Structure 1
Amino acid sequence: MTIKQSLMSILILTIGSLLMAYSVNADEETSFYVMPVLPQNQLPSTSEYFHLQTDQDINQQIEVMIINDSDEDKTFHLSVLDGMTTDLGDISYDTQHEYDKSQKIKLSQQIDVEELHTIKAKESGNVELQLAVAVGDFSGQLLGAINVYEQTKGNDNPTGVVNQFAYNIPIKIDVKTSQITAKLVYDGLKVTNNGTKSELTAGFINPTSTIIRDLSLTYKLSTKQDKKLIVEQHNNKLEVAPNSNFHPSILIGSKALKAGKYRIEILAVSEISGINETWQEDFTITGRESRALNEGLIVEQTGVPWYILASLIVIGIVILGYGYKRHRGKRML
């Protein structure tokens, strides 16, 4: 077998393995389905999740339908999660995140559901949840989700499963929302560690009980003394859950941050939510923080990287050796 044929065989085997892995994952993910059973007071804006509106206390049942499309009986775990904002600026659902102190009502504490339900093979079943919310003087949007995943041996995490397919059916309840004006608060810049590396993060809070939509954040990081621009970053189309906080990273890339004084300017704009805010902060990077931020940094290179040069040299040697061997073989014949 020639070198070319060997490389083609390896490529075909690799692609085949990836396709098989995708097929297995797809089968696992589509072995069951979950759908909301829409109540009579469902708003007509959507049929994909629960969207209710009220100006008084709520006490009613809502249902989800679980369809078991597999050839065996399955047991499913149900729980209720609260709306939150990821550090990437997306709305998600969890109960293990840092809650903002402005969040007065948590749907995870307002909805009762029996955790485990078994659905027979090739059948479906409805699961009832009891929704009871005393709204009082609250006005705004309540956001949460019904989380459903297959219960497996040794896996009983009620807040969602890592590396296991799950459904989140959102619940959105509008309570006297005409009185709400969106607001975004800047909560300062910090050097944080996410468990694997240190990052420069900006803190933001949505203290209002309404979703901030299509938010754009622009950051300009510069040295304080000579005002040299180090990083300009644009984050667009962000979504912020009601009464939540998030901490996006300022990506410094291959630029090392030395210990010293810096300035950051931030512009936040959302035309949909009526937000147009600017903030400016002077801050200091200590020597310890500088070493943590720059640890493992790949410095920006102007020339050809050494590993590419080394690869080219090795390839050149192989080609020359192969050519010399063929030439010598012809002479011997």
Structure 2
Amino acid sequence: MNTKLEIVLFLLSAAIIVSLFPTSVQASSNIVDFSVQAKIPENQIDKTKSYFDLKMNPGQIQVVEIDVFNNNRTKIETFIADVTFATTNDNGLIDYSPKSVKKADQSLKFPIVDLVNEPHKEIVIPPGKSRTVTFTFKMPKQKFNGVLLGSIHFKKKIDKIETKKSSETIQINNQYAYVIGVKLTETIKKVKPELHLIKIKPKLVNYHTAIIAKIQNSEPTIVQGMKIDSKIFKDGSNKILYSSNKTGLSMAPNSNFDYAIDLKNNQIQPGIYRLKMKAIIGDQMWVWDEVFKIGNEAKELNDKAVEVKQNYFWLYFSVGIFLTLVLSILFFFIAKKRKKERKE
């Protein structure tokens, strides 16, 4: 058969097979099909901001309003709104995504979510229409300096039919969300951050070996432009094993995060180590020099890690001992045989 004809027949057959067994690849249907806008009240501190930056008083009750727009012209949509407190993620950035109050730092006395009588709401909106959702905040009676920071997080509710459809196709599911910040302030007194080194331990970060230092900002103030310099040594040695330098870090008020020192895909080795770390915020500086121990947890972490460099020292050592023993026995018998032959 002619080669060109074979190619044509092959391509035609492939096209028929694909048509018989279609694979559907779809983008998520919820791409930018809604929007939100805060209604800025009179007690807004900075009226150029599109989030809530409110001057409050002890015990004050404040109602905030947000317009939610359903941009889908053909379908009734349900949207979920959650009030949440701000945290710091492990990249050293302020995080406004919803989370449980159980994850709040111990120094956070008044999580914003606890100031709202109904922190979770669902809003049903007809096609092409908008609705105003309200949240009522009640400030603590106790006066405080600094800020309470959080957000109102909006996303579209995905119904069961859409979930079932997505499981039948190869779904590129990008669910969009909107976040409107909430910053509550009672006094103009500036509060300086106070950092603490809470814990040092080995950990997998995205399945890669690392040592993490848990850092806490125990004060109700926002940290910006933080610099951290860290070095790890074997205890009693001045040789730097690993180091990390990061700038431009931020932290939410009364929060903590795991600052990771990458081990460059090396295995976590049990032993006693020393961490020297320095953090700088403006004209403030904190210096830590702490000894920590890595124990049996190293093996479990190494087993779960990806791209980790294997340590074959003991294998090579054992093979070397075995070969030395075999050669010694072999030489012994050869020498014994030669000695016997000479006697004969």
Q: How far, CA to CA, are the matches of 1:219 and 1:290 in structure 2? A: 24
Indicate how the Cα distance of structure 1 residues 234 and 293 shifts in structure 2: closer, same or farther if over 3 A, else same.
farther
CA-to-partner distance for each residue in 1:279-321, whole Å, 9 max, x for gaps? 0111222254256247444439xxxxxxxxxxxxxxxxxxxxx
2:61 equivalent to 1:51 = no
* Conserved? CA contact 2:207–2:306, under 8 Å: no
**Match of residue 183, structure 2, among 164, 168, 172:** 172
Indicate how the Cα distance of structure 1 residues 257 and 79 shifts in structure 2: closer, same or farther if over 3 A, else same.
closer
Q: Which residue of 2 aligns with 1:92?
A: 95
TM-score, scaled relative to structure 2: 0.71
2:286 equivalent to 1:284 = no
Gaps of 5+ in 1: 7-19, 156-161, 301-333
Q: Which residue of 2 aligns with 1:223?
A: 234
Q: Which residue of 2 aligns with 1:149?
A: 155
Q: How far is 1:138 from its partner?
A: 2.0
Q: How far is 1:80 from its partner?
A: 0.6
2:192 equivalent to 1:190 = no
TM-score, scaled relative to structure 1: 0.74
Q: How far, CA to CA, are the matches of 1:78 and 1:224 in structure 2? A: 50
2:116 equivalent to 1:111 = yes
* Conserved? CA contact 2:32–2:176, under 8 Å: no
CA-to-partner distance for each residue in 1:89-141, whole Å, 9 max, x for gaps? 11112332621121111111212347121112112221121121124132210
Runs of 4+ more than 6 Å apart: none
Q: How far is 1:28 from its partner?
A: 2.8
- Tell me how many residue pairs correspond in the alignment: 273
Q: How far is 1:193 from its partner?
A: 5.4
Deviating more after overlay: 206-215 vs 283-292? 283-292
**Match of residue 128, structure 1, among 117, 134, 137:** 134
Q: How far is 1:196 from its partner?
A: 5.1
Q: Which residue of 1 aligns with 2:256?
A: 245
Q: What is the SS of the residue equivalent to 2:189?
A: helix
Q: How far, CA to CA, are the matches of 2:243 and 2:31 in structure 1? A: 40
* Conserved? CA contact 2:209–2:264, under 8 Å: no
Deviating more after overlay: 78-87 vs 146-155? 146-155
CA-to-partner distance for each residue in 1:13-40, whole Å, 9 max, x for gaps? xxxxxxx96xx45x73311001111111
Q: How far is 1:54 from its partner?
A: 2.6
* Conserved? CA contact 1:184–1:275, under 8 Å: no
Q: Which residue of 2 aligns with 1:67?
A: 69
Q: Which residue of 2 aligns with 1:206?
A: 217
Q: How far is 1:247 from its partner?
A: 1.0
Q: Percent same amino acid at aligned positions?
A: 23
Gaps of 5+ in 2: 12-24, 162-172, 311-344
Q: How far is 1:203 from its partner?
A: 0.7
CA RMSD across the alignment? 2.8
* Conserved? CA contact 1:83–1:143, under 8 Å: yes
Deviating more after overlay: 74-83 vs 132-141? 132-141
CA-to-partner distance for each residue in 1:136-156, whole Å, 9 max, x for gaps? 13221001111111122259x
